Amino acid sequence: MLTGLAVAVLVTGCSEKAPSQVQGRHPRYGKPVALPAPATDGSMSLEQAIERRRSQRSFRPDPLPVAAIGQLLWAGQGIISADGKRTAPSAGALYPLELYVVTPTEVMHYLPWGHRVEIRAGPGLRPALEAAAFGQAPVGAAPDIIVVAAVPGRTQRKYGARAEAFVELEAGHAAQNILLEATAHGLAAVPVGSFHPSKAATALALPAGQAVLYLIPVGLAP
């Protein structure tokens, strides 16, 4: 695995290095569930979304509709061509990113092919994630948290030492897509880069070789 993955330095602002292994046993997910087809004809222009995007840290308690969750996941890693190209660029089209959504009761793992999610029960994860984020209130208050994780080894096999920077850049591409999509749909969202990477990964029970790069609390605007 990559050593010195700058989740700790460039992304989270803390000095700990992301672990190469987090959980030896990956929790079981249920059968994949199809998400509503993403909309591609929104009423807000890209220029308007860029101009209006703000980091918003207050949310209504209402859960996000499934269609809204699907729209955000598609914006971050959706398939947009027959040959598998995605909404965010990736060095060598190797796509190391993995997206998760944490709700108060479950964890969704996005499967870009087929625009689906696999779901497992995950009650009680929010306090652990909030603690991993040094007590930042939006992580505990938002009805949903999008987690941008990565398998750096996918990129390292081709790019070696350069892979670290490429994976981090890709996480930024995907996160900005998600934030602009949230803005276009009138949602509140904030990127959280300051967190304890190993604690976040352990709370999520990520499989070996995955590192957490970003947390994005999101919900309906108050």
Task: Between 151 and 27, name the one with better pLDDT.
Answer: 151
Q: Is residue 2 part of a domain?
A: no
- Rounded Cα distance, 194 and 214, in Å: 8
* pLDDT at position 21 over 60: no
| 44 located within any domain | no
Q: Express each pLDDT in 158-206 by its tens digit.
A: 999 999 999 999 999 999 999 999 999 999 999 999 999 999 999 999 9
Neighbours of 152 (CB within 10 A): 24
Residues 62-120: tens digit of each pLDDT = 999 999 999 999 999 999 999 999 999 999 999 999 999 999 999 999 999 999 999 99
Whether residue 13 has pLDDT greater than 50: no
Q: Is residue 160 part of a domain?
A: yes
Other Cβ atoms within 10 Å of 222 Cβ, number: 9
- 29: in domain: no
Bridge partners for 23 per DSSP: 207
| pLDDT greater than 70 at residue 17 | no
| H helix or E strand, kind and range, residue 128 | helix 125-132
Averaged confidence pLDDT in the chain: 89
The pLDDT assigned to 89 comes to: 97
The answer to whether residue 41 is domain-embedded is no
Q: Is residue 190 part of a domain?
A: yes
> For position 142, which CATH number holds?
3.40.109.10
Q: Is the pLDDT of residue 24 over 50?
A: no
* 123 vs 139: which has the higher pLDDT: 139
E strand residue ranges, the chain = 33-34, 97-102, 106-111, 116-121, 144-150, 187-189, 211-220
Q: Is the pLDDT of residue 3 over 70?
A: no
Residues 6+ apart with CB under 8 A from 47: none
pLDDT the model gives residue 26: 63
Q: Say if residue 57's pLDDT is above 80.
A: yes
Q: What is the pLDDT of residue 124?
A: 86
- Give pTM, 2 decimals: 0.88
Question: The domain containing residue 198 runs over which residues?
Answer: 7-22+55-220
47 located within any domain: no
At residue 2, the pLDDT reads 35
Angle at 149 between CA 100 and CA 118, to 5 degrees: 30
State both tokens at 63: 């859960």
Residue 89 lies in a domain: yes
User: Of the candidates 119, 104, 150, which has an alpha carbon nearest to the alpha carbon of residue 35?
Assistant: 119
Domain count of the fold of the chain:
1
